Amino acid sequence: MPGGGRSGNLQSVPDSSPLAVCVGEGLVSFVPATAAPLEEARTFHRSLAGAEWNTAIALASAGVRAAVVSRVGDDGFGRFLRAELDRHGVDASAVQVDPEAPTGLYVKELSPRPDGSVDGTMHYYRSGSAAAALSPETLASDAASALLAEAALVHTSGITPALSDTARAAQDSLFDDRRDGRLLSFDVNWRPALWRGREDHGRAVIADYAHRADVLFCTRPDAEAVFGTADPDRLRALFAEPRFVVVTSPRGATAFDGEDRTDSAALDVPVVESIGAGDAFAAGFLAGILTGLSLTGSLARAHRIATRALASTRDHVD
């Protein structure tokens, strides 16, 4: 299964920049032009989505070399996703093309809020997608192996192991293949619909990855749902292994580097819609620590990049 070519836009990021590799599912998102029930929506805008892909794009926008390891279908949607990575300067050389399984997609339903922003509800059409067939063999491909060998950081999330047994095996292999000098970043991204009927199993799986990560991200609602607490200090005590623990909410974030704690408030900016802001926030924080910023500086960079995702109904920064 051939992969995509190396992005022609990568020269905009210095070759000396650290490489971050994001492993996970890419999706095509259809967003209504207006906030209304889907049965009333007539026009949709197409864009790239998927937590790890959003993070990769935001990392590239922050000046970090970024690559994606994933799978898409041999269809127009798959070609669109790979072209979007290229447009944003993200290396798509390890995005495999499946000749049979389709590219996954979702439709976003927008509901207006009194403050002028909108709430987004996602309706997924991803069952049997090419990305669900992620496996250890995907990571062992020549293109993926080369990227992972060079990576200063590998980022993934709690979505991937919920997709399929083979996708979980791929994630397991990332966590088992620890390498000196390479950080492993994990965003909880609790999606109860993907774990329906096996929620307790999903919580145990995600907790295991959280203990084994170097950088752990979670929102307060996800932390409460998965770990039973949203208190940052209790989470730091519960997950003593990661060097960095970052707990976020719409009001701000708390980050730990070892025992050091820093709190920061979210920037006061107009919010159009919040989906994807967490991925941009993670990218900003990771860009900060990869380039030697302090904990305070990394949080400030995270908030700045997150505001760009808050400014539109797209899931990624542009």
Q: Which helix (H) or strand (E) holds 147?
A: helix 142-150
pLDDT at 274: 47
Rounded CA-CA distance 188/235 in Å is: 13
pLDDT at 6: 37
Res. 315: pLDDT tops 80: no
Query: Residue 40: inside a domain, yes or no?
Result: yes
Q: What is the dihedral of CA 118, 312, 64, 68, to 10 degrees?
A: 70
Q: Give residue-wise pLDDT tens across range 61-112.
A: 999 999 999 999 999 999 999 999 999 999 999 999 999 999 999 898 888 8
- Secondary structure of residue 298 in the 3-state scheme: helix
Query: Residue 169: inside a domain, yes or no?
Result: yes
Please measure the distance between the N-terminal and C-terminal CA atoms of the chain and give it in whole angstroms.
30
Domain count, the chain: 1
Question: Could you confirm whether 315 is annotated as catalytic?
Answer: no
Res. 8: pLDDT tops 70: no
Residue range of the domain that includes 280: 18-310
Query: Residue 2: inside a domain, yes or no?
Result: no
Q: What percent of the chain has pLDDT over 70?
A: 88
- Of 87-91, 110-114, 251-255, 312-316, which gets the smallest average pLDDT? 312-316
Rounded CA-CA distance 309/316 in Å is: 6
Query: Residue 316: inside a domain, yes or no?
Result: no
Query: Residue 6: inside a domain, yes or no?
Result: no
Summarize the confidence of residues 288-296 as an average pLDDT. 95
Query: Residue 3: inside a domain, yes or no?
Result: no
pLDDT at 28: 95
Q: Which residue has the higher pLDDT, 14 or 106?
A: 106
Query: Residue 250: inside a domain, yes or no?
Result: yes
pLDDT at 86: 96
Q: What angle do CA 154, 202, 147 make, to 5 degrees?
A: 15
Query: Residue 26: inside a domain, yes or no?
Result: yes
Q: What CATH number does the domain containing 161 carry?
A: 3.40.1190.20
pLDDT at 4: 39
Q: Give residue-wise pLDDT tens across range 204-229.
A: 999 999 999 999 999 999 999 999 99
pLDDT at 108: 84
* Residue among 91, 98, 222, 279 flagged as catalytic: 279
Q: Give residue-wise pLDDT tens across range 149-158.
A: 999 999 999 9
